Copies of this chain bind each other. A is one copy, B any other.
Amino acid sequence: MDVNLRQIRAFLAVVGLGGFTRAAGALNISQPALTIRIRQLEDQIGLRLFDRNTRSVQLTRVGQELLPVFQRLMKDFDGAMADIREFSEEPRGTIRVAVLPSFAAGPLPALIADFRARNPRVSFVLKDAVGKRVLAMVRNEEVDFGIGVGGVDEPDLDTIDVFEDRMVLVYPRGHAAGELPLASVPVISQFPLVLMDKDTSVRRLVDEAFAAAGSIATPACEATYMSTAVSMVRAGLGLAILPASAIEIRGFADIATRPIDDAGFVRRIVIIKRRGSSLLPAVEEFTKVLLAAANSCATPSAPCLDVEVQDGGAEALAMGVQGQ
């Protein structure tokens, strides 16, 4: 008994419109085609559904009994299809993402708040983790995708460049560093430096960049957290080299930043996905937003990634984002 949906729809159309010709019209098929479909249905269930002659079409008693069954069936089916359609049309679900701490504390929250304001049925689970953990979590399917530093070349992972996160020199406003014609390694080296801890990716990058410029980065102070480094700068302990995207360097009237005029003081922030693994539409959508935000500025730099947080954004964030 291979009853099919077209047969059921045909049955309901004939019932609803009270005739084969009319029903055929509504179904966009010819009347003979409909005749055959109804007959097939009747043959397959072994029951006559209509008593029909050229002048009238009437449900049999069996048809009357079965009508609500078929109606419910089609209603359920169409309801489920509507649900599924929503799935592709309106992003929904939970987006799990592993992010470098600097990015998680930087532009990401605003982007998430904005995204959630437009897609209320999406929630986020943010996991902040260092580069290697980000990779591992993506690979384990603990998260849908990751945001980390580029240069990954794993066979089972794909990366998409999001933006170049330049290192900037952070100095007290009015400091001589602001007046320099060039902020290059040799020049910077003249000043006491507040550098990040050896374990951090920022420090690694700085060390490598100094090395590439034939120099060695010598810290006057070291800090584990960027906010500490910033405080040290404000206290006049030295100049810091931090990612332009870092939220910690913004919001203070008494410090300023300037790009460093050396290649190497840049890291590529990339989206990391499992290769050959489909994502929720909501995730696809969100990565698009990330890329759009990054590309919306000609020279990708941190302030560019700022997003206008809509009213209610903060609450949405509070409700939808769960810290790791």
Residues of A within 8 A of B (CB): 1, 3-6, 45-48, 51, 53, 58, 60-62, 65-66, 69-70, 72-73, 76-77, 80-81, 83-85, 87-88, 93, 144, 276-281
Task: Provide the residues of chain B in CB contact with A87, threshold 8 Å.
Answer: 45, 47, 62, 65-66
> In chain B, what residue has the closest Cβ to A96?
B61
Taken together as a complex, chains A and B put the C-alpha atoms of A61 and B281 apart, in Å, by: 10
Known: A4-B4, A65-B93, A73-B76. A51 touches B278 (CB 8 A): yes
The answer on a CB contact under 8 Å between A48 and B278 is: yes
Taken together as a complex, chains A and B put the C-alpha atoms of A6 and B61 apart, in Å, by: 30
Task: Provide the residues of chain B in CB contact with A60, threshold 8 Å.
Answer: 277-279
Instruction: Return 22 A-B CB contacts under 8 Å, by A number.
Output: A3-B84, A5-B5, A45-B85, A45-B87, A45-B88, A47-B88, A51-B277, A58-B277, A60-B278, A60-B279, A61-B93, A61-B144, A61-B278, A62-B278, A62-B281, A65-B93, A66-B87, A69-B80, A69-B83, A73-B76, A73-B80, A77-B77
Taken together as a complex, chains A and B put the C-alpha atoms of A51 and B61 apart, in Å, by: 48
Closest CB-CB distance, A313 to chain B, in whole Å?
A: 26
Known: A47-B281, A276-B53, A281-B47. A84 touches B61 (CB 8 A): no
Taken together as a complex, chains A and B put the C-alpha atoms of A77 and B76 apart, in Å, by: 9
Task: Provide the residues of chain B in CB contact with A280, threshold 8 Å.
Answer: 61-62, 65
Known: A5-B4, A60-B277. A73 touches B65 (CB 8 A): no
Taken together as a complex, chains A and B put the C-alpha atoms of A14 and B47 apart, in Å, by: 33
> In chain B, what residue has the closest Cβ to A4?
B5
Task: Provide the residues of chain B in CB contact with A4, threshold 8 Å.
Answer: 4-6
Most chain B CB inside 10 Å of its own CB: which residue of A51, A80, A278? A278
Closest CB-CB distance, A271 to chain B, in whole Å?
A: 17
Task: Provide the residues of chain B in CB contact with A65, threshold 8 Å.
Answer: 87, 93, 280
Task: Provide the residues of chain B in CB contact with A46, threshold 8 Å.
Answer: 88
Could you list 14 further interchain pairs (A-B, Cβ under 8 angstroms) beyond the known A61-B280, A69-B80? A1-B85, A3-B84, A4-B6, A45-B84, A46-B88, A51-B276, A51-B277, A60-B279, A61-B278, A62-B281, A65-B87, A66-B87, A73-B77, A73-B80
Task: Provide the residues of chain B in CB contact with A76, threshold 8 Å.
Answer: 73, 76
Taken together as a complex, chains A and B put the C-alpha atoms of A5 and B3 apart, in Å, by: 9
Closest 3 CB pairs of A and B: A60-B278, A46-B88, A48-B278
Task: Provide the residues of chain B in CB contact with A85, threshold 8 Å.
Answer: 1, 45
Task: Provide the residues of chain B in CB contact with A281, threshold 8 Å.
Answer: 47, 62
Closest CB-CB distance, A235 to chain B, in whole Å?
A: 48
Taken together as a complex, chains A and B put the C-alpha atoms of A164 and B53 apart, in Å, by: 33
Closest CB-CB distance, A113 to chain B, in whole Å?
A: 23
Taken together as a complex, chains A and B put the C-alpha atoms of A279 and B70 apart, in Å, by: 19
Closest CB-CB distance, A324 to chain B, in whole Å?
A: 20
